Amino acid sequence: MLTTAVTSSPTAYWYLTRGTGTVALVLLTLSVALGVANVRRLRTDRIPRFVLDAVHRNVSLLAMSFLLIHILTSLLDGFAPIRIVDVVIPFISAYRPLWLGFGAVAFDLMVAIVVTSLLRRRFGYRTWRITHWAAYASWPVALLHGLGTGSDTKTGWMLVLAGGCVIVMIVALVSRATAGWPEHPGARLSALTASALVPLGLLVWLPSGPLAAGWARKAGTPASLLHASAAPSSGTTSGGSRSSGSTSTSTGAFTANVSGTVSQSSTGDGLSQVNLSLSLAGQRLNTLAIILRGQALDGGGLEMTSSEVTLGPSSQPRQYSGRVTALEGTNIQAQVSDGAGHSLTLLARLQINTDGGSATGTVSATP
């Protein structure tokens, strides 16, 4: 039976990576803010002090749990060439080394904090206290990691969330710096200065950094992966901005009617393969081929484990190549790029005739 519906299990890793990374940042913000405000000095009539200490500790452990899931799903997702060693050794990754390196630094600091906290009696109070100060450094580098590598940086909700985390930290710093004034004026003034410079620095950096066009390339995304670094509207691919054009020199977006054939066969290793051969009407890039491979599902369709997408003129049908990034029924989204690094986001909305083995619909392309 020809496929009429396709699902994609690998995209679940990407959703988990994005979600757990965002939650980990929020929890880390709460943990560090509680530490900066010094929960031991907080008192209420109804809540004992040891309860507030327990909240701080448990939020920290929960942040580490989400961070571990974030790292695991990043490794399993496969969109970016991230190795296990890149998780612990900063600035050596082939993928956005600086911004991914900030994530490794934050992770190393958090591991040191958790280990010394759990084994506090063995390390002693002084060692624990010195290491615990590293928590203050883990937050800004984690924020830079998220903004520099995240696919949602340009979205309004992510900017609001990041802004909220910054505000929480500013409130914590100001409250701590002004409590007990004027003792230790140097340290207090340094904290107040930092609370002013951090948001100012972000306001200056973001428009020319992650919010600017071409950030994926500037951030250090390998040229071979630029097709996977454009963040489509569904947000299912790695973070970054879209590269230019639908030709080797760059053209604008287009929408074209398509028609062609669809077939499904066995690959011989227990998996199924769906082949879509489509022609785009009125376009120079008029030849589109989509191959989906995966486990066949009862009642038709398959659970995709790999894919291949090519696009080009009839004289050079593989000018652009890439893979499927999102599937919803017979709507297929893909990212493709040419040898020069120019990328396109493709969205195919198809109607499939399983009896005749034909496919019709539209294909939209955006640079």
pLDDT, tens only, 88-102: 999 999 889 999 999
Q: At what angle do helices 156-178 and 134-149 cross, to 10 degrees?
A: 160
According to the model, what pLDDT value does residue 252 have? 58
Whole-angstrom distance, CA of residue 320 vs CA of residue 358: 24
3-class DSSP state of 351: strand
Closest C-alpha among 43, 356, 55, 32 to residue 173: 32
Q: At what angle do helices 134-149 and 10-36 cross, to 10 degrees?
A: 150
User: What pTM was estimated for this model as a whole?
Assistant: 0.61
Beta bridge partner(s), residue 362: 257, 349
Asked whether the predicted pLDDT for residue 231 surpasses 80, the reply is no
Which is more confidently placed, 272 or 246?
Answer: 272
Asked whether the predicted pLDDT for residue 194 surpasses 90, the reply is no
34, two tokens: 């509680």
Asked whether the predicted pLDDT for residue 268 surpasses 80, the reply is no
Whole-angstrom distance, CA of residue 173 vs CA of residue 337: 46
How far lies 135's CA from each of 5, 28, 31, 117, 140, in Å?
47, 9, 9, 12, 10
The phi, psi pair for 176, rounded to 5°, reads -75, -40
Half-sphere exposure of 109 (CA within 13 A, CB side): 22
3-class DSSP state of 205: helix
The phi, psi pair for 75, rounded to 5°, reads -70, -40
3-class DSSP state of 239: coil
Half-sphere exposure of 171 (CA within 13 A, CB side): 10
Q: At 52, is the pLDDT very low, low, confident or very high (cuts 50, 70, 90)?
A: confident
Spell out the domain ranges in the chain.
10-222, 225-366
Mean pLDDT of 269-280: 86
Asked whether the predicted pLDDT for residue 5 surpasses 60, the reply is no
Beta bridge partner(s), residue 256: 363
Q: For residue range 15-48, what is the model confidence (pLDDT) as tens digits?
A: 889 899 999 999 999 999 888 876 555 555 666 6
Which is more confidently placed, 185 or 346?
Answer: 346
Whole-angstrom distance, CA of residue 67 vs CA of residue 28: 9
| CB 111 within 8 Å of CB 157 | no
146 exposure class (CB count in 10 Å sphere: 0-12, 13-18, 19+): buried
Asked whether the predicted pLDDT for residue 205 surpasses 90, the reply is yes
Asked whether the predicted pLDDT for residue 179 surpasses 60, the reply is yes
Asked whether the predicted pLDDT for residue 319 surpasses 90, the reply is yes
Whole-angstrom distance, CA of residue 85 vs CA of residue 191: 34
